[in-house]
Amino acid sequence: MALEKYIDHTNLRPTATVDDIEKLCKEALEHNFYAVCVNGCHVSSAKENLSGSPVKVAAVIGFPLGAMSTKAKICEALDCCKNGADEIDMVINIGWLKSRLYDSVREEITAIKGAIGDNVLKVIIETCYLTDSEKETACILAVEAGADFVKTSTGFGTGGATLEDVKLMKNIVGDKAEIKASGGVKDKASAQQYIDLGVSRIGTSSGPSLIK
């Protein structure tokens, strides 16, 4: 598969303007990226800008901290889907995970997946804040909850994707879920390394330069 089909072209900056999102979508169309990834307030405009194209719209929820209530995350996810999001990238409740409230973490993911139905759910585990054991547990819980993807990072934490974390995640999820690497993937060589490890999607704000 061509490299561009792995890319979720991303702009999640709090300062992103309407013009910035329009530019993001134009670049996604020009380069035939798989999806754009935006904050919820930009879903409608992204969908409009991409109308008639195969480029998907992914929206983040519970972003970037993951500490909102489950009810709030569900409402956010439903609103994004109503406005045209094809995929939802949710942040887990990191504090719950570190408190070993595993049932709560699993139930939240299950509830969001149940609410969005056939829409793709990616679960951001924010690896930079977790021990290896916690990363493994997060992946297990996401799979048990029916998530479609596990995702390394928000890009707003203290670190992004690493090859070591993707290897660990792949070892846990196997073929039960796909993997998205995000945060700090800025060049073609790095992207290819992640793909070689079994990543299905790469979240990056450097899509156009990455494929050159």
Identify each DSSP E strand in the chain by its residue range. Answer: 7-11, 35-38, 56-61, 87-91, 120-124, 149-151, 178-182, 201-204
Q: What's phi and psi for 160, nearest 5 deg? A: -110, -150
**Catalytic site includes residue 187:** no
Task: Give the whole-angstrom CA distance, residue 203 versus residue 182.
Answer: 4
Would residue 122 show up in a list of annotated catalytic residues for this protein? no
Residue pair 6/185 in contact by the 8 Å Cβ criterion: no
Q: Take residue 85 and report the two structure tokens written for it.
A: 């999001």
Q: Which of 47, 113, 151, 170 is catalytic?
A: 151
Given a contact cutoff of 8 angstroms between Cβ atoms, the answer to whether 180 and 200 are in contact is yes
Candidates 47, 73, 170, 180; catalytic one: 180
What are the two backbone dihedrals, phi and then psi, of residue 61, each rounded to the nearest 5 degrees? -135, 155
SS3 call for 154: coil
- Point out the catalytic residue in the list 8, 86, 89, 148: 89
Question: Quick check: is 151 catalytic?
Answer: yes
- Residues acting as catalytic residues: 89, 151, 180
